[in-house]
Amino acid sequence: MIELILETGYELLRDMPQKYTILDIAKTAGVSRGTVSRVLNNHPSVSDQTRQKVLEVIKRLDYSPNFSARSLRTAASNMVGFATDEVITTPFAVDIIRGAQDTLSQYGKVMIAINTGYDSQAMQKSMEVLLERRVEGIVYAAMFHREIDIPAQLVERIPVVLANCFSKDQLLPSVVPDEVSGGYNATKALLDAGHTRIGFINLSRAWGEPIAPLPASDGRLKGYKKALAEADVPYDEDLLHYTDQRPTSSYDKTLEIMQKDDPPTAIFCGNDRTAMGCYNALMSLSLRIPDDVAVVGFDNQSNLCEALYPSLTTVQLPHYEMGQWAVEYLLNHADDSVDPPQHKLNCPLVTRDSV
């Protein structure tokens, strides 16, 4: 069962308290959140030097643990919050929400979903709404792999797990795609098919936002280079192009890359929408896929990949698995005494007909 709330400006029933949190202590002391928690719980695994450093920061900042928040966490409401920027309104919603919901159902839990957009104030209000519902914890999911900023006061009050995003300094548990493995798997598929001139049309911006580089863009390029190096194929920077994700951008970049003196026989596209533009450009040049040029995408938007002709070989973004992992960790392992994991999930190849 999912209760859906689209955030449109809820009035807060109370302001979130402005005080130092366990995250502030961790950052100031230069240690993890789990280490601070172990010091507070007098855990023997902390060295005397580290313990002293943390205690000095606690004293200097006049920090006191939020015991009311701890009692809130132990009050089982059988409800879990699922907050997101735009996942609910995008094609990726189905898998990541289904992964979370299927896992919650196994535990007899109910999901309350809130869509916040990219507004930090709306995020804070939305989180407060979830706290008013006395959820046992919150999964925050992002539309694309990126760094996010979760209000520190929230983290002090309730367990939070991140999906498809990560926090600065990695002080919250998160699960993200292994972009390097995805780039590697895509490129290796083309190498295994006998190609050595492999173009790469990578992503430079996220949905029109001037964000560069992106974790996805960086990771996929690293995987591309890794696969080439393992096959003893020299990396040729002339074969690397970037698309700004305008509808015509990948079309133009494909024409540009194919006009080189020694054009590629295969093209790895940074996502499936880029591959669609690539298909159209190759068709305009009377080139056949995969006979003349092989193409691999990324994301596995199945409705798009299977609609293209020939159907697109691509790499799977593990949205369903990220939803699963986030809920499993939230319900079973979100313990302050453990350093938060930064978990990466493999991005496997989905073979169709374009290679």
State the pLDDT at residue 63. Answer: 83
Candidate from 12-16, 85-89, 139-143 with smallest mean pLDDT: 12-16
- For 242, phi and psi rounded to 5 degrees? -120, 140
> Could you tell me the pLDDT band of residue 2, with boundaries at 50, 70 and 90?
low
- Residue in 107, 125, 99 with CA at minimum distance from that of residue 7: 125
Q: What is the pLDDT of residues 19-65, one digit of tens each?
A: 677 778 888 998 877 788 778 767 677 888 998 999 999 888 888 76
Strands (E), the chain: 2-6, 79-84, 110-115, 138-148, 160-167, 174-177, 198-203, 240-243, 266-269, 294-296, 314-315, 342-345, 349-350
Q: In the numeric block, which tokens belong to residue 333?
A: 């392992």
Using an 8 Å Cβ cutoff, are 278 and 256 in contact?
no
Q: What is the pLDDT of residues 82-115, one digit of tens each?
A: 988 876 556 666 799 999 999 999 999 999 998 8
Domains in the chain, start-ordered, CATH in brackets?
Answer: 2-176+321-344 (3.40.50.2300), 179-315 (3.40.50.2300)
> Could you tell me the pLDDT band of residue 242, with boundaries at 50, 70 and 90?
very high
Q: Is the pLDDT of residue 216 over 90?
A: yes
pTM as predicted: 0.79
